[in-house]
């Protein structure tokens, strides 16, 4: 490693106070600075952070956006959500590969560029999308992809690419309480400080606010649990690792209402007695980092963060932004905390829950971006009034991320209790065959269920709402989701690591025309294993896309199946072709008959 | 006493470790032989399978001959059991799956000196290798899986005695392991 590079490396480490718990942030910056994490860099980091090489490599190899080998000066990753595919992302990727003489997943021989796919980048309302060196480019067309190819071939620095490429739309289509809020920063905090922490907790409990990340845990109970848990420090964590394919509401909230988010975190800090908070921002939203830091700085300047907030002695609180690096599992709160601590994002055993044993084993309140915004507004409009919005068990409003086959994709904010059909009408969807609620882990609804209501009583959701019209093959939708789970399984527990891969192979087998009824039964058996033995929710929900689409769209599967009970998973004779070619044999023994049983 | 059950066993792309584990049931083999008869198996040296009740197969599928043997077992055995990591997942032999078969053969027979007189063996007696090593269930229907590398003798004993008693075999805690 050159002396200059070493110097840069030392600066990065020094900026993070030589703290090994900041390893992920350090690795991210090394990656951003050098394009990959070289062995020499690993050595140097091991020395300056006084941790073993193996720990650094294990963390670096866990996250999709970190590379231990060169991955090209330009690293292009096409978002591979089903909504991107429906908008033609696969053709566009093939076009770029052809233009740059490249195979997907490989680095060009001159080390210039690599092209691959990544899980949903949260740009479903303006896809197809890609990331180039971590920066998002949306609204891809053949023209735009060709221009990108030329910029790469000319080695044009990313900073000189047309600014329009990087423009991200908010696409807010329906505003209510949160998106329509014009609340000034600090107003609610002032009220809260007058009330005191216990009163804030009580109000949030009265408001009936429940977590907006999908699970719907009562926020007031969580804050109370955290407040009462013994610990030397308490922490507030905002989960902005919005990785559920088809969800992008947090991106819009962080862009349009960052003050609500930070005010909510500060409110929570007051309620639980925290001095420090983290915003865990998914790596795909890297472009939001600087604007968010500017907001944090403004809030510090206005005494809304820092020491003695709003002149209240003893109320000290500040927020740090941590960036993820491409790992869906880090949206699970205990995996997120592991990641915050600079480790692999493997979910912890629960209990104990983060509320008592979270960041650094201290009491930690982890809430979704939207939950913090809702908490501020619940307090502002009064808890009782807030409770009156929505339905009995789901108070307040919900941001829905609509994408897929509809003319007006984007963000829709509704009071809870809105029906699927109303959302479909508002977004202009016609001939709708199915709606996927809450991402691949959620539920797939057929037309007969469009009268169901979004809310914790009926359809709990983190916000994803993907629309599929009657031109779509629901088998391919499920297959895309199954591939997603296999890719994102963290690998810690065997049932999920192996099970998601088996499921993927089964779906690929059916897609290749080798599937039988036996395979469908096997999916149900596999689901039972994953449901009962997986370490976390990822494995438990991995079979959902198949089971739900099977329930409503069985013909989409059946017309791909052979009529036999069993078929080999691959073409037996074809598997000998390579050996025949190498040995020059073509006798009877050099062939295999396909035999179904 | 009712008719003895017939069992056939074979090792395909495996190391015979699972068969060693079968032998490890030790003196319980005598008890087993009260209940079963061995058909095609390394224990009997019978070369081809007659109709059997239970077939036990260790190892994955790496060449054309493996496919033929597996088909023979599937046709003749009422119940087919995949035993061990290789039969279930491809195991160690499947480590070659990330290599291209042509470059494997080229490397072994053409590039490296001193082997096979500089040509790739093409005698029709030799089974051709498949381009990838596959687990058994990708080629025929498998009824039961006994994981482990190898599964312990206790696991095999429990599994077989359950099966012979006409129960659904169940390996409880301690008997199922994946390595």
Residues in chain B with CB shorter than 8 Å from the CB of A494 are 178
Residue B53's domain comprises 5-96+133-164
* Angstrom distances, CA of residue B78 to CA of A1, A132, B6, B73, B163: 64, 56, 10, 9, 12
Name which of B13, B89, B128, B168 to mutate to probe chain A: the one with the most chain A Cβ atoms within 10 A of its Cβ.
Answer: B128
pLDDT at B116 over 90: no
Do the chains contact at A592 and B131, CB–CB below 8 Å? Answer: no
Q: Which of B64, B106, B178 sits opposite A589 (nearest CB)?
A: B64
Residue of A nearest to B74 (CA): A597
Q: Does A575 contact B131 at a Cβ distance shorter than 8 Å?
A: yes
> Number of helices and strands (H, E) in chain A?
23, 14
A544 C-beta neighbours (distance < 10 Å), count: 24
Nearest Cα residue in chain B from A516 = B141
Pick the CATH number of A475-558 from 3.20.20.480, 1.20.1440.230, 1.10.760.10, 3.40.50.300: 1.20.1440.230
Q: Which residue of A has its CA nearest to B70?
A: A595
Question: Are the beta carbons of A452 and A458 closer than 8 angstroms?
Answer: yes
Which helix (H) or strand (E) is A558 found in, with range? helix A544-558
Minimal-distance CA residue of chain B relative to A582: B102
pLDDT at A597 over 70: no
Residues 536-575 of A with CB under 8 A from B: 565-566, 568-570, 572, 575
Q: Is A580 an interface residue toward B (CB < 8 Å)? A: yes
For domain A74-169, the question of CATH label 3.40.30.10 is answered with yes
pLDDT in tens, A218-251: 999 999 999 999 999 999 999 999 999 999 999 9
Q: Per residue in A501-559, pLDDT tens?
A: 999 999 999 999 888 888 888 888 999 999 999 999 999 999 999 999 998 999 899 88
* pLDDT for the residue A2: 80
- CA terminus-to-terminus distance, chain A: 60
Nearest to B120 among A565, A583, A595 (CB): A583
- Structural tokens at position A270: 């007051």
Peptide bond connecting A352 to the previous residue in cis, omega within 30 degrees of 0:
yes
pLDDT exceeds cutoff 80 at A301: yes
pLDDT classification of A564: cutoffs 50, 70, 90: low
The CATH number of the domain holding residue B70 is 3.40.50.700
Mean pLDDT, residues A325-329 taken together: 94
ipTM higher than threshold 0.85: no
Phi, psi dihedral angles at A432 (to 5 degrees): -75, 130
What are the residues whose beta carbons fall under 8 Å from the beta carbon of A100, sequence distance 6 or more?
A: A108, A112, A113, A115, A149, A152, A153
What is the pLDDT, as a whole number, of residue B66?
96
Give residue for tokens 């795909």.
A284
Place of tokens 């926020």: A219
Per-domain residue ranges of chain A: 3-62, 74-169, 174-388, 397-473, 475-558
Residue B34 lies in a domain: yes
Within 8 A of B106 by CB-CB distance, chain A residues are 582
Tell me if B102 and A578 make a contact (CB, 8 A cut-off).
Answer: yes
Q: Does domain A174-388 have CATH number 3.40.50.11540?
A: yes
pLDDT in tens, A398-407: 999 999 999 9
CB contact under 8 A, A565 and B141: yes
Instruction: From chain A, pick out residues whose CB is under 8 angstroms from the CB of B101.
Output: 578-579, 582
Q: Measured between CB atoms, does B134 come within 8 Å of chain A?
A: yes
pLDDT digits (tens, 9 = 90+) for A198-215: 999 999 999 999 999 988
Interchain contact A590–B (C-beta under 8 A): yes
Return d(Cα A48, Cα A42) in angstroms, integer.
10
Distance CA A5, CA A43 (A): 13
**Mean pLDDT, range A415-432, rounded to an integer:** 96
Q: What total of structural domains would you count in chain B?
A: 1
Please give the share of chain A, as a percent, with pLDDT higher than 90.
Answer: 90
The residue-averaged pLDDT of A130-148 equals: 95
Whether residue B138 and residue A565 make contact (CB cut-off 8 A), yes or no, is no
A518 versus A442: the higher-pLDDT residue is A442
From B30's Cα to the closest Cα of chain A, the distance in A is 35
- Interchain pair B139, A572: CB under 8 A: yes
Residues in chain B with CB shorter than 8 Å from the CB of A581 are 102
Chain B residues in contact with A583 (beta carbon < 8 A): 120-122, 128
Q: Which residue has the tokens 């392991």?
A: B177
Q: What percent of chain A has pLDDT over 70?
A: 99
**CB-closest option in B128, B137, B141 to A580:** B128
pLDDT tops 60 at residue A568: yes
Question: Tell me: the pLDDT tens digits for B14-60?
Answer: 999 999 999 999 999 999 999 999 999 999 989 999 999 999 999 99
**Tens-place pLDDT, residues A7-53:** 899 999 999 999 999 999 999 999 999 999 999 999 999 999 999 99
The mean pLDDT value of chain A amounts to 94
d(CA A534, CA A35): 35
- Chain B residues lying within 8 Å of A498, measured CB to CB: 89
Q: Give tens-digit pLDDT for A347-366.
A: 999 899 999 999 999 999 99
Residue in B66, B133, B141, B145 to test binding to A, most A beta-carbons within 10 Å: B141
Query: If one looks up domain A397-473 in CATH, what number appears?
Result: 3.10.20.600
Q: Please tell me if residue A518 touches chain B, with a CB cutoff of 8 Å.
A: yes
Q: Is the pLDDT of residue B1 over 60?
A: no
pLDDT of A418 higher than 70: yes
The verdict on a CB contact (< 8 Å) between B141 and A587 is no
For residue range A84-113, what is the model confidence (pLDDT) as tens digits? Answer: 999 999 999 999 999 999 999 899 999 999
Chain B residue at shortest CA distance from A590:
B128
Q: Give the residue, B178 or A65, on which the prediction is more confident.
A: A65
- What is d(CA B60, CA A303) in angstroms, rounded to the nearest whole number? 67
Q: Would you tell me which residues 149-188 of chain A have a C-beta closer than 8 angstroms to some C-beta of chain B?
A: none
On whether residue B68 sits in a domain, the answer given is yes
Chain B residue at shortest CA distance from A515: B138
pLDDT tens, position by position, B131-156:
999 999 999 999 999 999 999 999 99
Residue A312 in contact with partner chain B when CB distance is under 8 A: no
d(CA B178, CA A21): 33
Average pLDDT of chain B to the nearest whole number = 92
Question: What residues of A are in contact with residue B121 (Cβ under 8 Å)?
Answer: 583
Q: Which residues of B touch A589 (CB under 8 A)?
A: 64, 124, 127-128
Contacts of B129 in chain A (CB under 8 A): 576, 579
At residue B2, the pLDDT reads 65
- Cβ contact (<8 Å) for A570 and B127? no
Q: Are A133 and A65 in contact (CB under 8 A)?
A: no
Query: Do the Cβ atoms of B141 and A569 come within 8 Å?
Result: no
DSSP single-letter state for residue A453: B
């Amino acid at each position: 490693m050159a002396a200059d590079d070493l110097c840069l490396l030392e600066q990065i480490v020094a900026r993070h106070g030589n703290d090994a718990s900041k390893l992920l942030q350090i690795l991210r910056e090394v990656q951003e600075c050098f394009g990959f994490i070289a062995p020499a860099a690993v050595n140097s980091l091991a020395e300056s952070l006084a941790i073993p090489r193996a720990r650094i490599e294990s963390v670096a190899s866990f996250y999709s956006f970190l590379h231990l080998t060169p991955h090209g000066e330009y690293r292009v990753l096409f978002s591979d959500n089903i909504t991107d595919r429906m908008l033609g992302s696969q053709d566009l990727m093939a076009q770029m590969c052809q233009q740059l003489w490249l195979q997907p997943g490989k680095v060009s021989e001159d080390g210039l560029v690599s092209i691959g796919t990544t899980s949903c980048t949260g740009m479903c309302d303006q896809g197809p999308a890609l990331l180039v060196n971590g920066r998002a480019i949306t609204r891809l067309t053949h023209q735009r992809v060709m221009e990108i190819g030329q910029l790469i071939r000319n080695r044009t620095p990313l900073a000189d690419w047309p600014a329009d490429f990087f423009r991200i739309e908010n696409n807010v289509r329906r505003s209510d309480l949160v998106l329509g809020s014009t609340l000034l920063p600090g107003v609610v905090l002032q009220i809260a400080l007058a009330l005191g922490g216990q009163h804030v907790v009580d109000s949030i409990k009265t408001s009936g606010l429940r977590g907006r990340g999908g699970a719907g845990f009562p926020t007031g109970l969580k804050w109370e649990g955290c407040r009462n848990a013994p610990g030397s420090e308490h922490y507030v964590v905002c989960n902005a690792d919005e990785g559920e394919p088809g969800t992008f509401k947090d991106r819009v909230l962080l862009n349009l209402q960052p003050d609500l988010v930070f005010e909510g975190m500060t409110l929570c800090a007051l309620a639980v007695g925290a001095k420090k908070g983290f915003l865990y921002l998914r790596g795909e939203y890297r472009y939001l980092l600087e604007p968010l830091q500017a907001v944090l700085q403004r809030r510090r300047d206005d005494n809304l963060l820092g020491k003695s907030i709003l002149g209240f002695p003893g109320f000290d609180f500040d927020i740090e932004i941590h960036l993820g690096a491409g790992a869906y599992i880090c949206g699970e709160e205990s995996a997120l905390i592991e990641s915050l601590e600079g480790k692999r994002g493997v979910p912890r055993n629960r209990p104990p829950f983060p509320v008592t044993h979270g960041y650094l084993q201290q009491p930690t309140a982890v809430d979704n971006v939207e939950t913090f915004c809702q908490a501020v507004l619940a307090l502002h409009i009064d808890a009782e009034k807030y409770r009156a919005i929505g339905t009995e068990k789901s108070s307040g409003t919900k941001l829905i991320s609509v994408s897929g086959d509809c003319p007006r994709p984007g963000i829709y904010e509704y009071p809870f209790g809105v029906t699927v059909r109303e959302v479909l009408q508002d977004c202009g969807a016609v001939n709708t065959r199915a709606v996927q609620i809450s991402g691949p882990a959620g539920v797939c609804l057929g037309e007969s269920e469009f009268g169901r209501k979004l809310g914790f009583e009926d359809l709990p959701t983190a916000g994803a709402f993907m629309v599929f019209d009657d031109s779509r093959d629901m088998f391919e939708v499920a297959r895309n989701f199954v591939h997603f789970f296999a890719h994102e399984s963290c690998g810690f527990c065997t049932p999920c690591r192996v099970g998601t891969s088996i499921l993927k192979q089964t779906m690929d087998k059916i897609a290749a025309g080798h599937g039988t009824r036996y395979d469908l039964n096997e999916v149900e058996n596999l689901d039972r294993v994953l449901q009962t033995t997986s370490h976390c929710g990822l494995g438990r929900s991995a079979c959902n896309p198949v089971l739900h689409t099977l329930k409503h769209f069985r013909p989409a599967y059946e017309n791909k199946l052979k009529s036999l009970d069993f078929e080999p998973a691959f073409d037996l004779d074809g598997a000998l072709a390579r050996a025949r070619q190498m040995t020059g044999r073509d006798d009877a023994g050099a062939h295999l008959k396909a035999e179904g049983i | 006493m009712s008719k003895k059950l017939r069992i056939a066993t074979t090792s395909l792309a495996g190391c015979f470790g699972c068969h060693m584990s079968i032998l490890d049931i030790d003196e319980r083999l005598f008890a087993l032989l009260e209940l079963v008869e061995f058909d095609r198996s390394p224990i009997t040296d019978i070369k081809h399978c007659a109709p059997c009740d239970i077939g036990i197969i260790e190892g994955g599928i790496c060449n054309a001959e493996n496919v033929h043997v597996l088909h023979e077992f599937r046709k003749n055995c009422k119940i087919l059991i995949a035993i061990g990591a290789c039969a279930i997942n491809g195991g160690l032999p499947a480590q070659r799956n990330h290599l291209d078969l042509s470059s494997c053969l080229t490397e072994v027979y053409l590039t490296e000196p001193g082997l096979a007189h500089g040509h790739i063996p093409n005698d029709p007696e030799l089974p051709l290798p498949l381009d990838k090593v596959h687990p058994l269930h990708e080629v025929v229907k498998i009824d039961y899986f006994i994981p482990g590398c190898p599964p312990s003798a206790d696991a095999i004993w429990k599994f077989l005695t359950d099966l012979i008693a006409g129960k659904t075999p169940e390996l409880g805690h301690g008997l199922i392991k994946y390595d």
